[in-house]
Amino acid sequence: MASSDVVQYRSPARRVLEVLTVLFLAVYLIWTMLPIFVMFVSSFKDLLEAFKLPRVGDWSGIGVFFDFNPTFQHYIDLFDDNNFSTYLMNSIIASLGSALISVVFGSMAAYSLSRIEFRGKKDLFFWIISTRMAPVVAVMVPLYAIFRGAGLVGTLPGLILAYTTFNLPFAIWILKGFFDNVPYAIEEAAMCDGCNRFQAFQSILPLVAPGIGAFLVLCVLFAWNDFLFASIIGSGGAKTLPVATKELVQPQNIQWGKIMAAGVVTTLPMMFLGLLIRRYLVTGLTMGAVRE
Amino acid sequence: MASTTADDAGSGRLAGATVTMRSGAKNIAYQPATLNPTPSKRYYLYLMLPAIIILAAISIYPFLWLIYMSLHKVDIGGAGDVWNNFKNWSRLARDSKFQDGWWLLIKYSAMCMLLEVGLGVLLAVILNNSRFEKMLVTIFLMPMMMAPVIAGLVWYYLYNGTFGWYHWLLQSAGILGETSILGDTSTAMIGIVIVDVWQWTPLIILIVLAGLKRVPRDQLEANMVDGAGPFRNFLQISLPNLYPFLLIAILLRFMDNFRFIDAVLVLTGGGPANSTKILPTYLFDVSFQFFKLGRGAAIALTLLVVTIILGLILVRLFDSPAGKAGQTSAEN
C-alpha cells in the first residue's frame, strides 16, 4: 500500500491519464479472458457452428459468435465414446499420488533440513533446486531409457515417479522455508512437557498445516498440467487428460467443439484449485523467492 | 539454533552451558539446559533419508545415464549400446539445427521476457493504485492455471486461418493477409511469443506487486518532500527497490521457457520450415520422433548446463531482500 494513500492533486493531465489507465485495464482484461471465454462458449457449439465466421472486414458480423444452439453433446460424448472417465481417473491418480509422495517425504526432509546445520548444506540445497529447474525434455531422455528398461513406461507408477522428479524438490525447497519460520522453542516446550521427538514434531504440524495443504494443491496442479511426461512416459496405459485432449486433434475432421469441451474438463478443476490457494500462489510459483 | 549439537544426551547439558567468545565479536551460543537436549543429527538424518534416496534415484542416476548415453550410440531395441568416439558431440558442432535451436531459444525467451516484463510492470503499477486490485489480480491469474497444452490448443483454434477469430480480427484490421500467423515463417515466432505472454504475464504482475508492497514508504515520502512527482518517485525509489524482484522474475521465466515447450509443440511443432524450432523442441524431435537417444542426450546435457548456471544465479538471489522482508510486509 506504499504509495496509494499519498495525497495527490488531480490536474487535467492526471484525469486523462486515469482514463487511459482504465482503458488499458479494460483492454488487458478482455485480452486475458477472451481465449478462456471462447473455449467455454465453443465447447457448447456443435461441429459446424464452431467453424462459423463472418466475412473478412464485416465487423457487424461479430454476433455470429453467439449464434448457436447450446448443446452438452460434446461433454456426453467425451465420457461415453472417448473414455475420458479413464483419463480423468489417470490424471487424478497420477497427480494426487505424486503430490502425496512429494509432500509427505518432502515435509520430513524439509523439517530436518531446517533444524540442523551441516557442512555442504548449501550444495545439497542447490542440488535439490536444480533438479526442479532442469528442463523436462532433458530429464526425460535418460528417464525414458531407464523406465523402459524397468517396464515403467505406460504405467501409472511410472508416471507418478516421473512427476515426483519435479514435485519432490519443489516440496522440499518450499516447505523448508515454512519450517524455518516455526521457532524451535515450540518443540522444546513440547519436549519439556514430556513429548518425545516425534510428538514434538506433531505439535508444530498445526502451524504449518495450511502451508503444507496449499503446496500439496500446487503439486497436484503442476502434475495435472504436465504434458511432456504424460505423452512420453505415460503413453499407452497411463494417458492423462492433457494428452487425451491433444490426441483429439486429428489431421482431418477436427472436432473443435469436442476439443474445447475436453479443454474445459481439464482446466476447470485447476482454476478452482488455483483460487483456493491464491494466498500461497506467489510463493509457490517463484519457488519461495518472493513472499507476498 | 544451537551451533553445538550434541550427539548424545549426556553432553547436551554441557554444551548448553558453554559460552563461546571469539576474538573481537561477542558470539554467545546459549542454550538452556533441558531434559531433552537438541535431538541428535542422526534423528534428522533418518527423517531426511527417504526423500534424498528418492531424489537421488530420479535425478543423479538419470544424470549419470545421460552422460553415459551421450557417449554411446543408444539402441532402444535392446541390442546394446556402442561406444562411438564422441560422435554425438562432434556432430553437434556441424549441426546447424542445433545452433539455430539455441539462437531461436534465446530469441524466443528474450522476446517473451521483454513483453512480459514491460506489460507486467506497467500493470502492477496500475493495479497497486487501484481499488479493485484483489479482484482484478484474481481474474488476471486465470491463464496461469491452464495446462500449457490446452492454452496452445485454444490459441491454435483462435489463430486458424479459416475459422479462427483472432485471425479474422487481424485480417479485418488489415494487419494480416490470407496466411495464418502460424503458417508464415516471419510471423510464427511472434505467434508463439504472444501465447506465452498471454499465459505468463500474470506471474510477473504478481511478483512486481509483491515487490511494490515492499517499497519503503519513508523513502517515497522523503522523495516527495524533495519535490518528486509520482513518475519521478517511481523511477528513483520504486524501480531500484524492484530490481531484485525483476531479476527473479526474469530468471524464472527464462528457465520456464527452457523447461516447457508444451504450447510450442501444439502450436507449430517447430515449423513452418523450422522457424520456431527452439532447442527443446529440436531435442524432443531428435529423442522422441527419431529416437536418436544418444544424440538427444548430448543436446540435453548442453541445455542442462545452461539451466544450472541460470539456477546458480537465481539461488544467489534468494538471499536478496526479495525473499527476506516477507514478515515485515505482512504487518503493514
The interface predicted TM-score (ipTM) is: 0.89
Higher pLDDT, A80 or B178: A80
Q: How far is A72 from chain B (nearest CA, A)?
A: 19
Does residue A59 register a pLDDT over 60?
yes
* Domain assignment of residue B58, yes or no: no
Does B300 sit within 8 Å of A138, measured CB to CB?
yes
Residue A137 has, within 13 A of its CA and on its CB side, a CA count of 31
Which pLDDT score is estimated for A92? Answer: 94
Sign of CA dihedral A239, A243, A245, A246: negative
> Are the C-beta atoms of B58 and A161 separated by less than 8 Å?
yes
Of A116, A192, A245, the CB nearest to B153: A245
Residues of B in contact with A24 (CB under 8 A): 122, 126
Interface of A with B in 124-183 (CB under 8 A): 125-131, 133-146, 148, 161-162, 164-165, 168-169, 172, 181
Residue B4 CB: number of other CB atoms within 10 A?
Answer: 14
Which pLDDT score is estimated for A17? Answer: 86
Residue A7 has, within 13 A of its CA and on its CB side, a CA count of 1
Percent of chain B exceeding pLDDT 70 equals 82
- The model's pLDDT over B164-201, given as tens digits with 9 standing for 90+, comes to 888 888 888 877 777 788 888 888 999 999 999 999 99
Indicate the number of domains in chain B.
1
* Range with the largest mean pLDDT of A45-59, A61-75, B254-268: B254-268
Q: How far is A249 from chain B (nearest CA, A)?
A: 9
Does B308 sit within 8 Å of A133, measured CB to CB?
yes
Which pLDDT score is estimated for A234? Answer: 85
Residues of A in contact with B259 (CB under 8 A): 133-136
Stated as kind and residue range, the H or E segment containing B55 is helix B41-55
Does residue A291 register a pLDDT over 80?
no
Does A54 sit within 8 Å of B66, measured CB to CB?
no
* Domain assignment of residue B283, yes or no: yes
* Domain assignment of residue B195, yes or no: yes
* Domain assignment of residue B49, yes or no: no
Tell me, yes or no, if B211 comes closer than 8 A to chain A by beta carbon: yes
Of A135, A188, A256, the CB nearest to B34: A188
Range of the domain at B218: 94-331
Which pLDDT score is estimated for B290? Answer: 85
Of B41, B51, B158, the CB nearest to A108: B51
Residues of A in contact with B65 (CB under 8 A): 142, 145-146
* Domain assignment of residue B46, yes or no: no
Could you tell me the three cell numbers for B156?
491454435
Does residue B332 register a pLDDT over 70?
no
Percent of chain A exceeding pLDDT 90 equals 34
Average pLDDT for A18-24: 91
Q: Domains in chain A, please, with CATH?
A: 12-71 (no CATH), 74-285 (1.10.3720.10)
Among all chains, which residue has been given the C-alpha cell 533440513? A113
Q: How far is A16 from chain B (nearest CA, A)?
A: 14
| CATH (domain of B327) | 1.10.3720.10
* Domain assignment of residue B82, yes or no: no
* Domain assignment of residue B76, yes or no: no
**Dist CA A107 CA A211 (whole Å):** 11
Which pLDDT score is estimated for B16? Answer: 41
- The model's pLDDT over B205-249, given as tens digits with 9 standing for 90+, comes to 999 999 998 888 888 888 888 888 888 888 888 888 888 888 888
Which pLDDT score is estimated for A1? Answer: 46
Which pLDDT score is estimated for B328? Answer: 38
Residues of A in contact with B310 (CB under 8 A): 133
Of B136, B146, B261, the CB nearest to A137: B261
**Dist CA A129 CA B231 (whole Å):** 38
Which pLDDT score is estimated for B313? Answer: 84
Average pLDDT for B131-156: 91
Average pLDDT for B108-115: 93
Which residue from A57, A32, A52 is spatially nearest to B175, judged by alpha carbons?
Answer: A57
Does A292 sit within 8 Å of B213, measured CB to CB?
yes
Residue A25 CB: number of other CB atoms within 10 A?
Answer: 17
* Domain assignment of residue B271, yes or no: yes
Which pLDDT score is estimated for A255? Answer: 83
Mutate to test the interface with B, among A222, A290, A292 (most CBs of B within 10 A): A290
